[in-house]
Structures are given as structure tokens and as C-alpha cells.
Structure 1
Amino acid sequence: MDRAWIGATLSFLVAATLVVSTASAADVKDVRLWRAPDHTRVVFDLTGPADHKLMVLSNPSRIVLDVEDTRLRTDFSDLKLDNTPIRQVRSGVRDGDDLRVVLDISAAVDPRSFALKANDQAGDRLVLDLYDKGTQASKPVVKKSATAAGKRDIIIAIDAGHGGEDPGALGPGKRREKDVVLAISKEIHRLFKADSGFTPTLIRSGDYYISLKGRRDLARKRKADLFVSIHADAFTRKEANGASVYALSTRGATSTAARYLAQRENAADLVGGVSLSDKDDMLAGVLADLSMTSTLDASLQVGSQVLGHMGGVARLHKKNVEQAGFAVLKSPDIPSILVETGFISNPGEAKKLSTPSYQKKMARAIHAGIKNYLIAHPPSGTLIAYNKAQGGAEYTIARGDTLSGIAQRFNVSLASLKSANGIDGSKIMVGQKLTIPAT
């Protein structure tokens, strides 16, 4: 009787173990790949968490991932391996239940892997980053160009939000924020590239992920004079609409919507396996101590100019520049703004934001606002500052401008401003260009 009871108990334990083992097994349901300027990222979408090991083998060069108790439910045939160090990707079964993925490598790389837990936007993922080494990765050349007057260009860092496996906000018709903002950012880049005295640089030039801190670091490395991050908003109610401009707040968000948005955008850094909370203490402390700095003041001023020009293109969600704790704006030495071009969660705005003509209109408005501010307040040592001192500055009137306000902004008398432009009264029009007399 005892033997029968023991046998039945053992059978139950074995069956229970098998059930647990089966329940904990994971599937690879999709594999995605992105190429960035300095690395290649491969993302394995999993149906559940799974432990893995990374190995580097030579002769021939291979990267091996062993994923425990996992099955491959997709294939690698759709992966675009052009312009990557990966020649091919193979897979096999190891030790009965484990998945082995082998990447044949054609160039020297520094591999790093990490797991990401499931969240509201995505399931469990295994991420493999292959950082280029041995050869100089293609980086945008940012020059502070010499001029006849020996002055440099103003450098504008244009940051298209999200990218890669982080699509940002999603709108109707499978519209993705990362695609819309990259198109607008490229148009802003094109406009500034055609301007004398300005050199633009794209923080993200393709469909790949950059951490929020990494975006700030790239702007500083390229010696940017101004940082503008382009986004497309989303909210739980599809009726929400309108464009917005944000600057950093050292005291937290200025409205419920700003708080909600800041939390949503900052959470995107978790996609890259980065935690800002334990890496940004010093910077956060500096910003907390600097309640009013010239950088924040400049951010608010340029934001106001951009908002004024955007008002001629889109309905504004708020009439004033809002302030929130966006991590991407935390550069203490670079004036920085975040532009929400509209609500991609709103069907009407999503449709407009996806059209090239509207993207160009929005880009022109952002470009005009930034340019007008920098012509009025050029960084020292730049060609624009030199031209302003010689009386060669030009200003495009935005909505809400007055002649007296423009005169005060450029530190010139109202009489001299009127005289330089042949104005008798006080009537001016949006889009009208004014010559700013020398101070």
C-alpha cells in the first residue's frame, strides 16, 4: 500500500514538473533588426521571459546566443543585413529544449545583450547590440565653418523622437510617431542647410533607437548651440488635439497633461535597457539648484517664437510654452525645446501629420521660429552675431509680434526700426520681413 502511495506521489510530482516546464517555455515570435551609425541592434520578441548566454567565437567569427527552453516560431529570411556586420543568421536546437542562434560576422564588433521585461507597449524581448569597432563608424560631420569674417556657423541639433523598436505614439491607420517626426526633422534640416550662417545636424537620421541621455550627449559632442526634439503627441481621448512647445521645468510639470506626457516620454528610455534614475543624479542636482538660468530663459524664448509660428499652421493645444521634466531636455548648457507637432491619436491630425505637404508646413514654422530667435539672439563668435552688429540682421514677423516688442527684443529704438523699414504707422503683417538696424 505504501509503495503504491509513493509511486502515485512520484508520478504526480513528475507530471507537475512537466507542466511547470511547459508553462515556462518561451517562443521567439518575431525578430527585428535596425542599423544605427555606430551599432547594429537585433531584437527577439518573446512570448515570455527566458534566460540566455552570449558567446563570441573566432575562426570564423561568430556571435552565439543560447536561449534556455525556447523555440523559434519565425525565421530570419526577412532580415535586411545590408550595411551591417552580419553575413547570415542561423539557428538550431541545443540540449533538447534550448534555442541556439548563430550570427556569422564579417567585421569586428563588441557584442552586448540584455533582456527587457514586458510592459504596456511590448512583450518580453531579448536585445543584442553589435557595436562597431576597429573602423571609424560613419558620423555626421558637424563643422563650425570659417567665413570671410572669421566667424562660425550656429549649430542646430534636430532630434527626431523615438526610433527603432520604440515606435512612439501610434495613431489610426498604423501611423507611427517615429516615422512622422523623422520626416519633419529631415525637412527642418534641409531648410537650415540652405541658410547662410547655420549648420544643422540630425541626432537620429534613420530608424534606430537612441537613449534619451544619448541624444543629449550627441548634441553636446557636436557642440550644438540649440537642441530641438520633435514629437507627435498622444492622449487617451482621441478628441485631444493641437500643437505644443515644451521647455524644461526645474519644479516639475506645469499641468496635468504635461505631467502625463513627460512620464510617457521618459518611460521610453526603458526600451533601450537604460535606467535614468541611477545615472543622472548629478545633472538632476545641478538643474534643481539652477531655478533660473540663461539656458532655461533662452529655451522659453525660442519656444515662444516657435509656438507663434506654429500657430499659423496648426491649432495650438496651449497658447504658452509649457514646462515639464522631459529627460531629453536636461542639458544645462544648451537651450533645449521639445515640440509636439500635434496629436497622432486624433484621427484628423494624424491624417494631416502623415502628409508630406503638412510635414513641410510644420517644418517651415519650426524653422522660422528658431531662426528668428537666433537672429535676434545669436551666440557670440558666430557669423549671425557679426552680421547683426553690422546692421545686417533680418527678422520675420510672427503672430503676436508688435513693432515695440521687436525693437525691445533687438535692443534698438522704435524710431530707428521704423525708419530702416519705411514704416509710418504701427501696422505689420505675419510673414513680413524686417531689417534690423545696427545697434
Structure 2
Amino acid sequence: MKNPFLRSFLGIAVILIAFASSVPSEALATPAPEHSLPSSSGDPLLPSAEVLLDAGHGGIDGGTFEGTILEKDINLQVALLLRKELKARKIDCVLNRVGDYALSEENRWQRTRSRHLRDLGQRYGLTSVLEPSAVVSLHVNWARRPSRKGPIVLYQPNNPKSLILARVLQESLNRSAGTHLAPFPGKTYYLLKRINAPTVIVEMGFLSNPSDRARLTDPAEQKKIAEALASAISGYLLLERCLPDS
């Protein structure tokens, strides 16, 4: 890594995430902010959140699949568990989908016939209102080669905080899954290009790989994934307070 600033802070991130993983969530908790507190825009009437969780796909959009297993269901199951883990750590978070429906159905402001664009526009629009410190979008991968496996975190190429968030998440997921993968720049993804807040897409594993598929569909393993993500997010938020604005 050429940037010494990122290298030094990533070293701190590894320490923080190890600390967050070893200490009970109650010990790390800070008082939860009241819902009446203003967002970063300063308007007390608008909602706010430290973290926005994006459960990918939903409703008519099932995402990738393997047989009868749909990506949208796994994304939501892990997102609900992750929200619970973050709230246990007193981290103020919002989940943009809590059931099996398409976010395009909630978008009545965007003038386009494209359901896909309305879906993406609704996800993007929520970040503008909440102004979160981090956006974590949950997805599941698929590949033609069944041998491909493991979690991969995609980040915004031009956002240093997104890279740090991605590396912290990737490190935690690697430890949980027993992998040694690196985060990857997501240059073509709508949310990574449009959202100003540090944003990552977490591909939690490959449905096309038998071992990943078994892990992604096992409730106990889903909980482990959620715990790994929560520990990383908690560590990142501690670190983020020390980072200059990007």
C-alpha cells in the first residue's frame, strides 16, 4: 500500500476490531441517541443514523439464485441479525428493507418506467436523508466456477474511508470464514458511484459454491456472519472519529 496514512490507520483498525470482538457488546456500548436528535444537516425533524444497512434486492427482484435458494432472502436474514447485533452495541442504525418487497414500490418521486432505476434511486435517496457515517450493502455472489468461494467487500475507489471500512470488514469476515481474500474496488456499481458517505458492498459468499451455500443458508452461520460484520462496523466507527474528512 503506497499511502502511509491509510497504512497506519489500518494497523489501528486491526487492533480496534480485535478489541471489539473480544469485549462484550454491553461494555462497548455508549448511550443510544434519541430519535429527536438532529441529523448532520442540523434539522431535528429529520431522522439520522450512524449506519445504514442495505438489504440487497427484494420482492420481484430475487437477485442471484441456486435452485430454490434466493439471494434476496439471505440478504434480509443476515441484515435483520446484523441490525440486532448493532443495536446491542448501541449503534444507531437503519435497515432499509424489513420484509420481502422491492424498494422500487416505495419510490413515487422518480419519473422513470424502469423498476431497477427506481429501486436504486430509493436506496440512494435514503442516504441523502439519513447522512450516515457508513453504508453497508449486503449481497451474495455467484460464479460460473463452483470453486470460487469466500466473502468479498467492494469499496468506492475514490473514497479513503470506504477503503478503510472495506479492509476492516474484509479482515473480520476472513477470520470468520477462514479465508484470505482482499477487498476490491467497485468501479461500476451505482451505489458506490453515487453515495457520498463511505459505502461498501459486502458479497457474503458464493451461492454457486457448495460450502459457501451451506454456510449462507445455515441460521447459526448467518449469525456468525452478522457478528463478524457488527464487530468490524463497531471498530470502524471508533476509528472514523479519528479520521479527517475525505
Q: Same-fold call, TM > 0.5? A: yes
- Give the letter for the 1:188 counterpart: L
Tell me how far apart the structure 1 counterparts of residues 36 and 214 of structure 2 sit (CA, whole Å). 38
User: Do the aligned partners of 1:246 and 1:337 also contact (CA within 8 Å) in 2?
Assistant: yes
The TM-score, its normalising length taken from structure 2, stands at 0.70
How much does 1:155 deviate? 1.7
Equivalent residue for 1:162?
A: 57
Tell me how far apart the structure 1 counterparts of residues 156 and 240 of structure 2 sit (CA, whole Å). 20
How much does 1:316 deviate? 3.8
Equivalent residue for 1:207?
A: 100
CA RMSD of aligned residues (A): 2.4
Equivalent residue for 2:14?
A: none
- Give the letter for the 1:338 counterpart: I
Equivalent residue for 1:67?
A: none
Alignment gaps of 5+ in structure 2: 1-33, 39-46, 104-118
- Give the letter for the 2:83 counterpart: H
Distance 1:320 1:202, change over 3 A: closer
Alignment gaps of 5+ in structure 1: 1-141, 147-151, 250-291, 379-384, 386-408, 410-439
Tell me how far apart the structure 2 counterparts of residues 164 and 317 of structure 1 sit (CA, whole Å). 34
3-state SS of paired residue (1:330): helix
Equivalent residue for 1:339?
A: 202
Q: State the Cα deviation string for residues 71-97 of structure 1 (Å, max 9, x = none).
A: xxxxxxxxxxxxxxxxxxxxxxxxxxx
- Give the letter for the 1:155 counterpart: E
How much does 1:329 deviate? 2.0
Equivalent residue for 1:239?
A: 147
Tell me how far apart the structure 2 counterparts of residues 312 and 144 of structure 1 sit (CA, whole Å). 38
Equivalent residue for 1:143?
A: 35
- Give the letter for the 1:193 counterpart: K
The yes-or-no answer on 1:220 pairing with 2:220 is no
User: Do the aligned partners of 2:174 and 2:180 also contact (CA within 8 Å) in 1?
Assistant: no
Tell me how far apart the structure 1 counterparts of residues 137 and 206 of structure 2 sit (CA, whole Å). 16
Question: Higher strand fraction: Structure 1 or Structure 2?
Answer: 1
How much does 1:145 deviate? 4.4
Equivalent residue for 2:189?
A: 326
Count, aligned residues: 188
3-state SS of paired residue (1:333): coil
The yes-or-no answer on 1:188 pairing with 2:96 is no
How much does 1:343 deviate? 0.1
User: Do the aligned partners of 1:169 and 1:345 also contact (CA within 8 Å) in 2?
Assistant: no
Matching residue within 163, 173, 178 for 2:72 = 178
Distance 1:331 1:367, change over 3 A: farther
- Give the letter for the 2:219 counterpart: P
Tell me how far apart the structure 2 counterparts of residues 358 and 302 of structure 1 sit (CA, whole Å). 22
Distance 1:314 1:340, change over 3 A: same
How much does 1:320 deviate? 3.5
How much does 1:347 deviate? 2.0
3-state SS of paired residue (1:313): helix
Matching residue within 362, 376, 389 for 2:225 = 362
- Give the letter for the 1:184 counterpart: V
User: Do the aligned partners of 2:155 and 2:185 also contact (CA within 8 Å) in 1?
Assistant: yes
User: Do the aligned partners of 2:124 and 2:195 also contact (CA within 8 Å) in 1?
Assistant: no
Equivalent residue for 1:305?
A: 168
- Give the letter for the 1:162 counterpart: H
Tell me how far apart the structure 1 counterparts of residues 221 and 195 of structure 2 sit (CA, whole Å). 33
3-state SS of paired residue (1:307): helix
How much does 1:324 deviate? 2.8
Tell me how far apart the structure 2 counterparts of residues 183 and 324 of structure 1 sit (CA, whole Å). 27
Greater relative CO (CA pairs within 8 A, separation 6+)? 2
3-state SS of paired residue (1:186): helix
3-state SS of paired residue (1:348): helix
The TM-score, its normalising length taken from structure 1, stands at 0.40
How much does 1:209 deviate? 1.1
Matching residue within 204, 208, 211 for 1:348 = 211
Percent identity (aligned): 28
- Give the letter for the 1:164 counterpart: G
